[in-house]
Amino acid sequence: MLGRPRANRDDVHRMPSPGICLGWEKALTPTAATRGGYAAPANRGRGEPGPSPSVGFRNRRSGRGFVVPVMLIVVLALPPGPRPTGVAAQQATPAAAVEPGPDPALARAVAYLLGEQDDSGAFLGMNGTPDPSATTDAVFALAAAAQRGVDTGAAIDQAVAYLATDGPAYAETGAGPAAKLALAAIAGGKDPRSFGGVDLIAGLTGPAPGTPPGAPDNLHGAGVFNHTLVLLALAAANEPIPPAAIEALRPAQLDDGSWGFAGTTEAGSGDSNTTALVIQALVATGNGTDPMVEPALAYLQSVQTLLGQFLFQAGEPETADANSTALAVQALIAAGQDPSSADWANAERGLVAFQNVSGGFRYIDAEPADNLLATLHAVPALAGYALPVATACDDPAPIAEIDATPEVIELPAPGRGQAPCVPLAPAA
């Protein structure tokens, strides 16, 4: 659903990027050894919209070597222009003509993912075995790509069938995994209230069962990251959002505008992955204009490089990674920002810069091998969707299926990808 893999990962994608492979949902305290998001081990060989940020954002962090001055000249040469905000931003229309067919980078990334799917329908985790956490991320990615006209074949149905069998045990491990599974069920057109014989929503609607030491009250799951997954699942299922669940985020926000994975408020504990996911959850629950959003966007810009890529956290060494960049792009999409604009140093281009010739994405430039989990994160962002990538339709009437091979795809402007509603059917 965030580098070397965490030894006791338990569905946690490697940090930095406790992110969405969202294998992050069970980690509490990322350590130096876990930095790297939820990337696969190197020896696998496959290897309401929010306000715009204020003018007073901190400067982006520099790139490396001689590239910095060149990129600085390019960035400064681009006209900044005002950032659209609020409803006007979401309703804006693209000025340029839309290219025919799916985006080539997106199509190549999906082709790579299709080659990574196991015969069971699953996608493999960091231990090289079928993994529900990685497979939920794959459903997010493939569903987002299908909504952009990329032919994903039977991959989504096969992944959802695997999750209906192996997912319930995964959901029992915590609120975050249960929420992630519910999001995948909805994206796959299945009812999360009856998925694999389990009501995934029932366990997410009661009072928060407890919070980590040092974290605010009313957080579902193990910290802020898992709490936001619960909010996203409830929003996707059209469940009412308890006001206390939103208020729980307020005291957990650090002075710099960020949130930390576990929800503690120690200075420097915030990270771009958790912050990006909170922004998406606030928007998805109808709280995109909450005062928490603007400083969160400012924090994201403070950890962006001149090349448009994002760091997991501020500090040394300043190494941007694909997972953090993808999650940040999704947050900008959710907030009604344009990730391809000069204001955001063309973050979309920065994300595509991590793509290898194979179509897969590397986690960081220093680790050039294809990284399955980095690719899983990148695809929804390339497709222009924040989480949730789909919501349940209030009206049970069938809707027209998406034509996977139209001659021309009418894509919304960058940052305007709204999750479509999906009619739900009980899982087999």
Per-residue pLDDT of the chain (428 residues; tens, 9 = 90+): 333 233 333 333 333 344 444 554 544 333 333 333 333 333 333 334 455 444 344 455 544 333 333 333 333 333 333 333 332 333 233 333 334 467 999 999 999 999 999 999 999 999 999 999 999 999 999 999 999 999 999 999 999 999 999 999 999 999 999 999 999 999 999 999 999 999 999 988 765 555 555 556 677 877 899 999 999 999 999 999 989 999 999 999 999 999 999 988 899 999 999 999 999 999 999 999 999 999 999 999 999 999 999 999 988 788 999 999 999 999 999 999 999 999 999 999 999 999 999 999 999 999 999 999 999 999 999 999 999 999 999 754 443 343 433 333 333 333 345 678 888 887 65
Is 25 inside a domain boundary?
no
Is 303 inside a domain boundary?
yes
Is 44 inside a domain boundary?
no
The confidence score (pLDDT) of residue 315 equals: 81
Is 42 inside a domain boundary?
no
Question: Are 120 and 132 contacting, i.e. CB atoms less than 8 angstroms apart?
Answer: no
The confidence score (pLDDT) of residue 253 equals: 97
CA distance 365 to 3: 11
The confidence score (pLDDT) of residue 102 equals: 73
Is 117 inside a domain boundary?
yes
What is the model's pTM?
Answer: 0.76
Is 85 inside a domain boundary?
yes
The confidence score (pLDDT) of residue 2 equals: 37
Q: Count structural domains, the chain.
A: 1
CA distance 31 to 5: 11
Range of the domain at 393: 52-422
CA distance 342 to 348: 11
Is 332 inside a domain boundary?
yes
CATH number for the domain that contains residue 87:
1.50.10.20
The confidence score (pLDDT) of residue 425 equals: 83
Is 311 inside a domain boundary?
yes
The torsion angle over the Cα atoms of residues 48, 49, 50 and 54, rounded to 10 degrees, is: -150
Closest among 265, 341, 259 to 308, alpha carbons compared: 341
The confidence score (pLDDT) of residue 63 equals: 44
Compute the C-alpha angle 249/251/252, nearest 5°: 60
Question: Are 367 and 312 contacting, i.e. CB atoms less than 8 angstroms apart?
Answer: no
